[in-house]
Structure formats: structure tokens, C-alpha cells
Chain A
Amino acid sequence: MRKRSLIPIIYIIFLMLPIYWLIAMSFKTTNEILSGFSLFPQTFTWDNYVTIFTDPSWYWSYVNSIIYVSINTVLSICVALPAAYAFSRYRFLGDKTLFFWLLTNRMAPAAVFVLPFFQLYSAVGLFDTHIAVALAHCLFNIPLAVWILEGFMSGVPKELDETAYVDGYSFPRFFITIFLPAIKAGVGVAAFFCFMFSWVELLLAKNLTSVDAKPIAAEMTKTASSAGYELGLLAAAGTLTIIPGAIVVYFVRNYIAKGFALGRV
């Protein structure tokens, strides 16, 4: 093995250490955790996971997260597709300004929007619903999706559109049966990034929900407050949140690197 491959290996080990620690911790009993340092779980236990899967407030928070992330991903991609198509194919009044304005929303600090969002969604009666979080996350996911998709679409030659029209395809049929398959890698990458940023965000998700749509990330804070630290439980809940991401990244592994490389700046 060449010396150069040491660098990625060391880096990956560095990445895995905290994750290992989290997983190891999730299999330890609270007693073992508090009694002192141990590299491997001495008394291996599934108790922490059993607690999570038997307590509805735990597993429902998990389901809640998945619901609003899915709504957000589908919504973001659906509205971003026609917009990205317009940006990649047509010139129209204010296109550049609009594109740039969209991107500036990606730069907005979430903290700035916490309070106004709370008031806005309370006013329209959406507070504590999955829709509220999914809509709020559109703020930064739609610009990102438009940006990525536009990059991929610009890579598809315009002749494809023209040939299809000459062949008598209507626009919707052309878009769905010809154009979408041509950029499916782009849709995959965009969906991946939407999923990712919606799944990892907590500040907005937490402040727009209280009970019914409470995300897993917010539910976890209760381990810290009630009866001291339940580190094992916290670690188990944390471990479970890694799994959806790991599954999604596995499916798009061949496209992630390309995703941004094709987007335009």
C-alpha cells in the first residue's frame, strides 16, 4: 500500500472515533457509564434501544422527523424542477436578479428566522404541524435544489428539447418521459442534499413544534433535563438518527461528488 493512502485512512479513523464512541455508549448501562472509563461495553445491553422502541413519544418523534423531511424533499424538488428548467433554458425579465436573490436565502442565518417563523406559522394556524417544518425548511432547500438542478440541466443539450418538439411531444410529456430521465442523477443529488439539510436542522424544527410534530432531535433534549443525564439513552437515540442518513448516502454514493461540481456559481 502506498504511503499516500495513509492520509485518507487516518482521516476516516478520525471521523469514526466519535461515532464509535456514541455507538459504544448506547450499549452500556447507565451504571457502567457513570462508574468510569471503558473502551468497550463491559455489560452489553439493548435496554436503551428497548426504551426508545417502547415509548411512543420517542418513536413518534422519530416518525415525525421522517415525515417532515420527506414532505420537504418532495416539495422542494417538485417546485425546483420547473424553475431550474426555466433558468437553464430561457432568458426572461429579471432572471439573473431572481437567481441571485434565491441563493441569498441560503445564506440567511436560521437564528434570524426563529421568531418571525414562530409568529408567521402561528398566525396561519400551522404551528406544531409537519407542514410547518417542511415549509420552513424550503427556505434554504429550494434555492439549493434549484442551483443543483440548473447545473445538471444546463449540461443537457438544448437539441434534446427541440428534437422532442419536432417529434410531436407535448411539453409535460417531454418533461416527464424524456427530460427527467436525462437528469435523474441530478434529481438524486438534489434530493440527497434536501434530505440532508432538512434532517440535520434542529433550530427551526424545534421552535415550530411542541407535541404533535416534535422531531427526534428535540425529543433528545429531554434526556438531559429529567433525572440527571441518561447518557446511554441519549447515545442510543443519537445512533438511530445516523441510520437514515447512512442509507441515503449509500444510494447516491456515485453521484454526491458530481452534485456541486456541475452547479454554476
Chain B
Amino acid sequence: MKTQNQRAWFFVLPVLLLVAFNALIPMMTVVNYSVQETFGNNVFFWEGLRWFEELLNSDRFHAALGRQFLFTGIILAIEIPLGIIIALSMPRQGFWVPVCLVLMALPMLIPWNVVGAMWNIFALPDIGLLGYLMNTTLGIDYDMTQDPFAAWATIITMDVWHWTSLVVLLSYAGLVSIPDAYYQAAKIDGASSWSVFRYIQLPKMKQVLTIAILLRFMDSFNIYTEVFVMTGGGPGNSTTFLSIDLVKIALGQFDLGPAAAMSLIYFAITLLVSWLFYTLMTKDDGK
């Protein structure tokens, strides 16, 4: 049992100050902007909830939000099962385990704009490996700067390349924590490999999978740099996700009010969906 101790607040204080400095002050700025209009020169006019109303009724926002959910949905649907399958087929011990882990973790350690640039070079129609294979070897017309479908496919492949390893690492961590006796008991009980997965491996992976899904949701929902470098949101607006649209409005057009309102709604959606995921995935735990 933990002891009651209010002095613990002193331990938490440094964290609190740093995070508050970084989170609360900027958040207040955002809230401040979101209810005002400015034409520069530090002159502000009270606008109330106008930006929120406009934004919630704007087609542009709906489209970006729709694209964002579609993208996040697709990559979760690919990365989670794929990550589990790869983790299941990895060796449990021996020389190859650290080799696999190091190689798999590598994509996650590359700066995001380098990831974007790397995939750009990789996908160049005539001189990139992927582009060359598609166009010349397979004879598929492929150019992600022209064709929205190709752009989506490339970004999704890029994200799968970039982040599936996170799911693999987490699932693997869950898998190796299962004692051998469970597998032996299942063998003796005559369980099929599906039953072993369903009743032993999946339950033991549940906690780490919850973390994996939450992290992948948050990060894919906030994706900016890779996509910006690869397509800049194009062709047209086809890959303009929420963050890209937000930066366009805030820094491109310098519409601070609408951008701030969008920030708040964006953050609220991320929080809401994360909370929903979390509640859904842990609702059985209490019983």
C-alpha cells in the first residue's frame, strides 16, 4: 500500500513547473487568440466563438478531419495486426533476437524529415528504387506528385515502414513475458495454435497492445513532418491532414484566430478519441 504523503508534491514540482511552462502558457495564448481577430500590429478584436462556429461548419476542416481519420484508421488496421504477426514469428531467444530488435528499431530513430526525404528519393519515378520498379519493371504508372492514390499509398507504406516496429517491439515484450508452462499446459490440454493465440498470447499482450494502439493513434493523428516533406499536402489537397492544414493556416496565411480555434478542437478530438480507446480497451479489467 502506498503511504499518504503530501510532501511528495516537492518531488513532482520540477516536472510540474517545466510542463506547465510548456503547456499552460502556450495553451493560454492559443485560447486567447481563438476568441479574437488580429490584423497584425498587436491590435485585437473580440470575436467570441465565431472562429469555432465557422470552423465546425467549414468544408475544408471537415475534409481534413475526414482524411485524418481515414489515414489513422488505415494505418492502425495495417500496423497492429502486422506487428502482432511479426512479433509472433520472431525467435524467442538466441543470437538473432538482438539483431532483429536493433534492425527493426532503426526506422524509428531517423529524424522525421529525413524519413520524408528518404521516401521521396526512394519513390522518384525514374531514378528512385521504388519508382523505377513500379514504372519500368512492373509497368504500373506511378508518380506520387501527380496521382493522389499513389500519394496515399506511398504515405501509408512509409508509415507502415516507419512505425510497425513499435507494435512489434511492444507485442514482443508481451510475448516473452509468458512463462513456458503456459505453452506446455496448452499442448497437454490439446489446444490448437489459434486457441493458444486467443486464450494465452492475446490476453498477455493486451496491456502492451493498449499502449501500442494509443501511441500509434496519437502519433499518426498528429503526423506532420514526413507528409509535409513527401507531398506538401498534395497533389491538390489530397494529403492535407489536420496538422498540415493547421500549419498552412497559422504560418502560411497567418490567420491566428481560426488557427487557434482549430488547434483547440484538434487537441480536444485527440484527447477524446484517446480516452475512448483507453476506456474501451480496459473496461473488462475491473471485473
B56 at the interface (CB under 8 A from A): no
Tell me the nearest residue of chain B to A32, going by C-beta.
Answer: B127
B38 at the interface (CB under 8 A from A): no
Within residues 223 to 265 of chain A, which ones have a CB less than 8 A from any CB in chain B?
231, 234-235, 237-238, 241-242, 244-246, 248-250, 253-254, 256-261, 263, 265
B263 at the interface (CB under 8 A from A): yes
Contact at A89–B30, with CB atoms within 8 Å? no
How far, in Å, is A246 (CB) from chain B's closest CB?
Answer: 6
Residues on the B chain within 8 Å of A261, using CB: 170, 173-174, 177, 207-208
Q: Could you list some 15 contacts between A and B, CB below 8 A?
A: A7-B89, A12-B100, A14-B161, A21-B129, A86-B9, A92-B9, A108-B267, A109-B243, A138-B22, A146-B15, A199-B111, A200-B111, A249-B105, A249-B106, A257-B169
Contact at B174–A256, with CB atoms within 8 Å? no
Contact at A109–B103, with CB atoms within 8 Å? no
Contact at B208–A8, with CB atoms within 8 Å? no
B74 at the interface (CB under 8 A from A): no
B278 at the interface (CB under 8 A from A): yes
Within residues 91 to 109 of chain B, which ones have a CB less than 8 A from any CB in chain A?
91, 98, 100-109
How far, in Å, is B156 (CB) from chain A's closest CB?
Answer: 14
Residues on the B chain within 8 Å of A265, using CB: 207, 210-211, 214, 278, 282
* C-alpha spacing A37/B122, complex, angstroms: 11
A18 at the interface (CB under 8 A from B): yes
A34 at the interface (CB under 8 A from B): yes
Contact at A249–B19, with CB atoms within 8 Å? no
Contact at A90–B14, with CB atoms within 8 Å? no
Most buried by A among B103, B118, B161, B164: B118
Contact at A109–B266, with CB atoms within 8 Å? yes
Tell me the nearest residue of chain B to A12, going by C-beta.
Answer: B103
Residues on the B chain within 8 Å of A78, using CB: 14
Most buried by B among A111, A120, A256: A111
* C-alpha spacing A211/B283, complex, angstroms: 50
* C-alpha spacing A86/B270, complex, angstroms: 28
Contact at B19–A142, with CB atoms within 8 Å? yes
Binds B, one of A43-51, A52-60, A98-106, A179-187: A98-106
A178 at the interface (CB under 8 A from B): no
Tell me the nearest residue of chain B to A261, going by C-beta.
Answer: B173
A164 at the interface (CB under 8 A from B): no
Contact at B110–A241, with CB atoms within 8 Å? yes
